[in-house]
Every structure is written in C-alpha cells, then in structure tokens.
Amino acid sequence: MSDSRLFPRSAPGRLRTLASVAATTLLAAFAVTVPAAAPAQAAGSVVKVTGSQGAWQLTVDGAPYQVKGLTWGPAFADAGTYMPDVASMGVNTVRTWGTDGTTKPLLDSAAANGIKVIAGFWLQPGGGPGSGGCVNYLTDTQYKNDMLAEFPKWVETYKDHAGVLMWNVGNESVLGLQNCYSGDALEQQRNAYTTFVNDIAKKIHSVDPNHPVTSTDAWTGAWPYYQRNSPDLDLYAVNSYADVCNIEETWNAGGYTKPYIVTEGGPAGEWEVDDDVNGVASEPADTAKAQGYKDAWNCVIGHEGVALGATLFHYGTEYDFGGVWFNLLPAGQKRLSYYAVKEAYGRSTAGDNKPPVISNMAVDGATSVPAGRPFKVTSDITDPNGDALSYEVLVNSKYIDNSGQLTPARFTAEGNGDFTVTAPDRLGVWKVYIKASDGKGNVGIETKSFKVVPPPVDGTNVARGKPATASSFQPDSVGCPCPAANAVDGDFGSRWASDWADPQWIQVDLGARTDFKHIQLAWEAAYAKSYTVQASDNGQDWSTLRTVTGGDGGIDDIAVTSAARYVRVNGTERGTPWGYSLYEFGVYR
C-alpha cells in the first residue's frame, strides 16, 4: 500500500519541530540510571479502559475520566511554574514524548494541580521525518533489548505516582519508517515495529497492571498494523490536525474494536494547507487557528463511546516558526488559541483580558520585493479591551535555509496596522510576522510570505551570457554541477559554487574592452566575507577596482566607473565553512 494511501494528510516535510526537539532531548534518558530507592509517595491511581464495543470509557479509580489535555512543552523542571496555569484552563491531562530521570518534577506538579500525565517513550525513527535515526526492527536485537529493559525501569519507578494516567510507546514511527525503507522492506519494518510495540506493552503490563498502554502514530493509516500486530494495547492513539473530524469515519470503516485518544490535534498544519502565491504553506490566521482547536475538540467528543479525549498541540513557549504556528503562548504570551482551548474545556473566559486581533494582513508586491529596499505590510489591528498596543515586525528564512529563528526587522509603524519594513538582503522566499502585544500578557501574531529579488539596476548587464571561468567549481554538490557560467546566465535559480578553500576567483570575458558603471553580486548562502573586484584588458594584468571586507552575503551593489575586457571577483576570505557561491555576477554599463 502506498504511503499516500496510508497517510493521506502527512508528509516528510510536516511541521514536527516542537515535538522532535522535545523528544531528542529525551533520548538522553538512556544514560540516566534508575534511583536505587525511590522516595515514598502516595499510591497511584488505578486507570482502566472499560466498557464494550462502541461504549468504552476511561476510568480513574472507578470514576469516568475524559482526557481534556494539552501536549507539554516547557522543561520538566519548570512544571511548577506553568502547571497552575494549565489547570486554570480546565486541562486535566498533559502528554509527553519521553520519560526518564527528569520526569518526576512534572509528575509531582501535575499531581499537585489535579492533572495526570500520558507518559511517553520514544522509539526511532519517530516524529514523522524520522527523528533519532533508522532502526531495523527485523534484525536489530540489541536496540530492541535495550528498549525492553529501559522503558520498564521507568515504569517501575513511576507506576505508583499519582500523576500517571497511562504509558504511550512511540510517536509516528509507522510513518517515520518511510524515511528509512520502501516497498516490501517498508511493509516488513512496519509489521516488525508494531510487533515490537506489542512486546513492550506486554512487558509494561507485567510491571504495572494498573495503567493502560497505547501507541501514537500519524493518522489512522497506522491502525491496521496495530490491529494486526499489537493486541496488547489497551487503546489506540493518533496525531491528527485538519483531518481530526474524519477519524470517526476511518475508525468505522476499519472495523476497529478498541477506543482511541487524539494525542496531537488542533488547527491545520504546514503539510495540510494550500500554498500561497510564493509556493509555500499559507499559514492560517490566529482566528482560524483558534477555531481549529474548537472544531477538533467538538469532533473528538462527538465520537462518543470511542474517542476518550485528546491532548491538543501545544502548550509551549517557543517563539520561532513552529512556535508561532502552534504554541498557545509563544514567548509566554497568550493568544486567541489559548482562550479557545480554555473555552472548549468548559472554563469561562468572560472575565479575561483578550488578545489583539490582526486581520487582512497583506504584503505589497509579495512576489517581488527588492533586496534591502523598503516594502509595505498592511493589516487591520484591533484590541477587544481597547488596550494600548506595542508592535514588532520579524522575518524568518525557513524556506531558504530551514531556520526556525525569527529575526527582528527594521520597520516604521505608519499607524492603522500599516508598516514600512526593510527587506532582508538575501534572495528567496521569506516570511514576515506582525506581532501586537497588549501589555497584559496577550499577543496577536499574523504572518505572510514575500519573495526577495535583486534590486533593479539601471543599464544593461553586459556580462550576461558571456564566457566565464573560475578557479574551481562544484561538480556534484546540492543543486550542482555549478560551473562559472551559471553566474552569468541571468537565472537566479542557478549558481556558481567553488571548492571549500581560500582563495577562489570567478571572471567574465566581456569580449572587448567595455565601459561599465555598476557591478551586482547576488550571493548564495556561501558568501565572501572579504574580496576584491578587479579588471584587466588581457586577462593577465589586473587592477583592483574595489576591496570589500566584512561582507555579509545577500546582494552587493558596487558602483564603479571603469572600462575593461575582463572583470573578476577574487575571494580572499569565506564567510562560511563552505566555498564561495554566486547566483549572479552582473556587470552593467
């Protein structure tokens, strides 16, 4: 069965940043030893999945329990700071991706605030894109034995803790295996993985018969494997965002005989939305994200007797690309989604101060913003409480270099939600963010893409299409071969790339002595920190027209007045560990 049929709404490029980062830190658990004697603590709850086909429920000490949850983002050590706020939202459960020696503060704070924890265990290759590397579940006996020994140690450590609700083995590994295998081998690995999950479930049950065991994957395409190979799971678990309301249909169609919980859910993710005018994911507005949480919860509770609740994604404070997309409180500031979840879980927000709302955001000339030049960003911004607002404008280069970082941009607030922003110097598709803060702990954030292009140059590019040579070129790097001719072909999608060494040069033969007045260099990520621009009539004897130090890449516009047949850029110091790389080397007259 093809991956598209198994996981119709998932893809290797899906936004797993937050979960994967959290889980990666938890892989260090294997180096932590179990305490010789755990401190005495109150006996934990007895949690059961009870009922019959289509009429299941989760019970805690015999009382019905509906999971009203959030995935957990802050450090476990900071649980005491955040858990009271989580409880105030009507949340009764948080979910983690790993359990180790650092987990106790989270369990302690959860129990103290009337909250329980779905305690996760990470298996490779989790997180959809395959976080943690590939494992051969048919032959890697050592890895499987290590996990079979490791996980039950922590179950033994925490099984009597009042904060434990259930154990969750793995996260999206049935999906993640497609990044390691294909064809028949992929099918064999998926069957072997879910068989191993069952082995772990049996081992956990033997250590702790009082808490259920589940396993999470992306969408219901994984469920046939669990149905076939993991009979000892007490319930299934699924991560689903825009498609959460279709889970009931696939559960009915699959003839499943176990209930489920949604372990990640909320608004549409990057992998589910349409592309915008620049060919990148069109991020939903804050209002749409807030509605997405409400819709997800309504569909979960609508599958009565089968869906036992959800831990929506994500109670996190990261303030980056993924954090803005999903976090309820990026940088600790509450947004519309925070209050939407609070309302969904039955708590009133009538007396709460609410976040600013940004609407109708647009970028003037979004498909063609000249590098380093000002451009207009327009929006409508209102605050439901009439609070005085402060603004930030930030940019992100994820679609250029996969960076999640948000970088402050130079801007002027023009009033009425309009801003004049200075474009970055680097070519490619960026995102610009407007952030409005009300001074009361709330924030509104909206974002749109824009494409940075070279600023126009008066005159004719006399280097375009002319013969070019270089000291070296990359024959087989990413996007290569990258010969010198690529830098004078008029295509900003191709590039010249040199060896990874200093010095390196590239030169163009204009064919005859030619007057020129301007040179434009469009650097790729591998730029020159120091270089000279030189000219020659014979290609042997060179005069220096300009010396540049402290270069930072992007676009270099150099005004010169000269005449020559040959023009050369001589790189003397690289700005990165790589070589030198130019999209275009323009010489204008």
pLDDT one-digit tens code per residue, 394-428: 999 999 999 999 999 999 999 999 999 999 999 99
128: confidence class by pLDDT, cuts 50, 70, 90: low
| Mean pLDDT, rounded, for 325-350 | 98
pLDDT at 79: 98
Give the model's pLDDT for residue 133: 87
Query: How many C-beta atoms surround the C-beta of residue 518 within 10 A?
Result: 17
**In this prediction, what percent of the chain has a pLDDT beyond 90?**
90
Tens digit of each residue's pLDDT (9 = 90 or more) over 199-258: 999 999 999 999 999 999 999 999 999 999 999 999 999 999 999 999 999 999 999 999
Amino acid present at 416: N
pLDDT at 41 over 60: no
Mean pLDDT across 57-68: 98
**Contact predicate 125/176, CB 8 Å:** yes
Question: What gap in Å lies between CA 17 and CA 76, rounded to an integer?
Answer: 18
How far are the Cα atoms of 460, 528, 533, 553 from residue 517, in angstroms, in the given order? 10, 22, 13, 21
Tokens describing residue 535: 């000219």
What confidence score (pLDDT) does residue 303 get?
Answer: 98
Q: Token pair of 391, please?
A: 């603004």
Instruction: Please indicate whether residue 17 or residue 353 has the higher confidence score (pLDDT).
Output: 353
The pairing of strands 67-72 and 307-315 is parallel
**Longest alpha-carbon distance in the chain:** 92
Per-residue pLDDT at 474 exceeds 60: yes
Residue type, 518: H
Q: What is the pLDDT of residues 477-486, one digit of tens each?
A: 888 999 999 9
Mean predicted confidence (pLDDT) in 20-36: 36
Q: Please tell me the predicted confidence (pLDDT) of residue 132.
A: 74
pLDDT 10s digits, 275-328: 999 999 999 999 999 999 999 999 999 999 999 999 999 999 999 999 999 999
Which tens digit of pLDDT belongs to each residue from 185-200? Answer: 999 999 999 999 999 9
C-alpha–C-alpha distance, residues 72 and 75, integer Å = 9
Dist CA 436 CA 333 (whole Å)? 11
Q: Is the pLDDT of residue 26 over 60?
A: no
Question: How long, in residues, is the chain?
Answer: 589
Query: With the C-alpha atoms ordered 96, 101, 107, 108, is the resulting torsion angle positive or negative?
Result: negative
pLDDT(27) > 80: no
Q: Are strands 374-382 and 418-422 parallel, antiparallel or unpaired?
A: antiparallel
Is the pTM higher than 0.85? The answer reads yes
Residue 130 pLDDT = 63
H helices, E strands: number in the chain? 13, 27
**What confidence category does residue 37 fall into, taking pLDDT thresholds of 50, 70 and 90?**
very low
Are residues 171 and 122 in contact, defined by beta-carbon separation less than 8 angstroms? yes
Distance of alpha carbon 198 from alpha carbon 177, whole angstroms: 17
- Provide the pLDDT for residue 502: 97
Work out the pLDDT band at 129, boundaries 50, 70, 90: low
Predicted confidence at residue 21, as pLDDT, reads 36
**Residue pLDDT, tens place only, 93-115:** 999 999 999 999 999 999 999 99
- The pLDDT of residue 316 is 97
Residue 457 pLDDT > 70: yes
Q: Which amino acid is located at 455 in the chain?
A: P
Taking all residues of the chain, what is their mean pLDDT, rounded to a whole number? 93
What six digits make up the tokens of 123? 């298996």
pLDDT given at position 98: 97
